[in-house]
A and B are shown apart, each in its own frame.
Chain A
Amino acid sequence: MGKVTGFLEYQRLQEASEAPQLRKKHYKEFVVHLSDADAKVQGARCMDCGIPFCNNGCPVNNIIPDWNDLVYRGAYREALDVLHSTNNFPEFTGRICPAPCEAACTLGINSDPVGIKSIEHFIIDKGWENGWVVPQVQTVKTGKKVAVVGSGPAGMAAAQQLARAGHDVTVFEKNDRVGGLLRYGIPDFKMEKSHIDRRVEQMKAEGVTFRNGVFVGKDFPPNVYNWAKETIFPDQLKKDFDAVVITGGAEQPRDLPVPGRELKGVHFAMEFLPLQNKVNAGDKVKDQIMATGKHVVVIGGGDTGSDCVGTSNRHGAASVIQFELLPMPPEQENKPLVWPYWPTKLRTSSSHEEGCERDWAVATKRLEGKNGKVEKLIAARVEWKDGKMVEVPNSEFELKADLVLLAMGFVSPVQQVLDAFGVEKDVRGNAKASTDGEGCYKTSVDKVFAAGDMRRGQSLVVWAIREGRQCARAVDEYLMGSTVLPR
């Protein structure tokens, strides 16, 4: 265990970051991982609890106390081994995970939780810097072929695990690059895409085949980005492979059915964000949606909304305002009744620090514009009573709006894909499969497994990794009769 009394002696340290005014000028990551000395001190704060709630709070069940201790003792390589034993891609989660582990940290009951995410970030960066992250090639091949449809974090995790179990894995990705929402949904300033590329290289070395630009299904809705050049029917896949894992995410965005929605300048976040990432990657993009000089209204108070804010500011927006339908949450949650669970509280993201007005309990009533182009937004204040939303009388107001970005979350996976596979769906339109017991992660269709957002609906990257790993185990067991892959 770190230091017995470390939690009494040391303070939590935030990772350093570039000043907002400076970082707004570029699209690079601006958070600096801890120094060796700081990491040691942060590790020393861990109390090595008899019940590490973090271990439970973390969706991939990272064995946090163990690597905290190893970092405290300077055993970085061992720390990396422990970290990798539960998490295929700590460089993703170490950057963009909201860290439910920290919400569950015991020290957080009456003090600042251990900076778990910063330590994870430190460990994995240390690993890459020192060349410790190398392909783990399975020499004993099973001769079984598995297709993974969708290369987001769930698909990547499943593919890597399956390859390490000795299967021949092919990953199908409809877009031109691997990574799914990680690649095109997360702005580079939060996570640079070289991290994905490095992993792809590792996975290729481990025997995973990637087929980009290939859409698996029949047809596809227009408002979801799709740059596929080729289409394969699911039946073909089922014929060619011993098992198919569908990890296509939950890409169907929630729309705003108000008058004026059809105006130009009103876009889903996922029409806006990917283009910037492509540009950063060196692609030529025609008609990129730009916020430069515009009055931007972001509708939706979540992380995607934040990403829109950060990107708009980098474009040089004239103003950015972000709405949320729900009332402003409290600054501090009622810990005795919430800990160790994820609290609803006011969260200020790094993008907010870069400049943005935020408003809560606001409902958009309509959009108005000229020449088919949006110019203003009319909204009203709402109140919530017994879970029901009521408009506050006479509270209507209007705002200048040249660009309206809809970031209200995702409704479900793309139904057309699930329908093409013919899998049974749950009430929310997700692929139906359990996560425990016999036949877990298996859909109603033989050979076909589902994981990640496609199975659970929109969620966190860390949940996607968990599902990918667990699904791989289920597939391995399905193919081989038994498995040693960890859940």
Chain B
Amino acid sequence: MTVPDEKVDAVVVGSGAAGSAIAAKLAVGGKQVVILEAGPERGNDDLISSGIWARRLKWGGAPVIEDGENPVGNVFNAGYGVGGSAMHHYAVWPRLHEEDFQSRSLYDEGADWPISYDDIRTYYDEVQEECGVAGDAEQETWRPPGAPYPMPGVPLFRQGEILAGGFEKQGMATAPLPLAITSTEYKGRAPCIWDGWCDSGCPIGALANPLTIHLPIALQAGAILATRSTVTRVLTSASGEYVTGVEYATETGEKKQLMADLVVMAAFSIQNPRLLLASSSGKHPHGLANSSGTVGQYIMTHPAALVYGIFAERTQCYMGAFGGQLVNQDSYTKNTHAESGAFGSYQWMIANAVKPNDLLGISNTRPDLFGNDLHDFMKNSAQHFASMTGVIEDLPVAENAVTLSDQLDANGTPLAKVTHTTHAKSKALWQAALEEGKAVFEAAGATEVWTGPQAGMHIIGGTVMGDDPQSSVTNSYGQCHDISNLVIAGSGLFPTSAGVNPTFTIHALTARAGDHLLANWGSIIP
């Protein structure tokens, strides 16, 4: 699509979960919206079921320099092209708990959010109805209050049944994993066939990704989506009091400008602060919206606790959803493992569907094996393997941050450098979870049990929201404290990572922000 020459109401930077959702809200609300996407155009026909092919859904833009003891894994976690990282997300959509919003007040650890669960509850309800979430609210005894799921829980395959038995023997509960995947036909969308190809992108509309849900709504309402349009700078008025649009580079490298009343940064947790820092000026010498000095700070990820096992019986481990079949949140209360020096929440995603190859495939659960030993392991594991993944809370640390490198990309924009070292209490929580996970597998009757290394799952923070302009970048709607018509959307806003997957909360926050922007447009726009 062609980017207009004239000023528009809103420009949205990025077409992932947050970008497509805010674009849909604003466009349906009557605003003229242009979405600028740095990566390529992508349609359902491009979503080939293959762990090899799926690598093209991963970040392919300017290099990100990673540092620290526990890198966040930008290329693996971020996306590139239409739909962003949501095109390869696993659609595990649990809600945050009430205590996630009050971690500092309740435990003197982490940070408080500028909102409570009650402020976002109705948006969770609205989003789950719009996007379709399958689950069993009654069986999720840990679940905070909210409307029941609009679809029944996902079916159980043998791997799930086996591991559920292990949890039961340990006196622990399980419930269907809440998934934004169709367990039945839903609003014209076909039900999932549980083939385990979620991270290759779902081409049949069963998984609630931007191509299925919000981009069609946005485009139908008149939004323009321009691909291969890489934003290089956010533009400000002469006074520096408000933003006036963005500068972007076309595929040929030509620099252009698009003027807009509202700029929404939805380019994920690393590129958003990178662009704000790179947009410094005389009025904003330390970067845009950075009077607090916190732009780029508090980058978080979820240290994944990976537990694997072999069972005597066949597990059907290739069936189901990549995210899993069941959930357990028995350890969600943040001081559950305090005696181990740990702090934070976690949940288990139980019985992940697996494929033979790729980073999370069966072969890499035993990277020490090669030769015929590897062949033997693959043949046995394809039939008898099981796994589950703990989503571990990562405490926010100011030094875990995005900064600008001295190196420039092809458009002349400084590269992002991301430093991340997991907090000692989060590492202790990861270790405690692994011990618990191994005990569950042994109780389930595994003949072999082993664990994987710490790995980063999701990228969170970098432009955190808060009530205090001295210690946060935006208010609870994502509006920058310094500049009212500059809005951040996405997981970069989260002051804490919580112990659940972020995408449902990204959508709920974005829906709330969209309503606020539309209701207060006159006072927000200069």
Q: Do A and B bind each other?
A: no
Which residues does B use to contact A, with CB under 8 Å? none
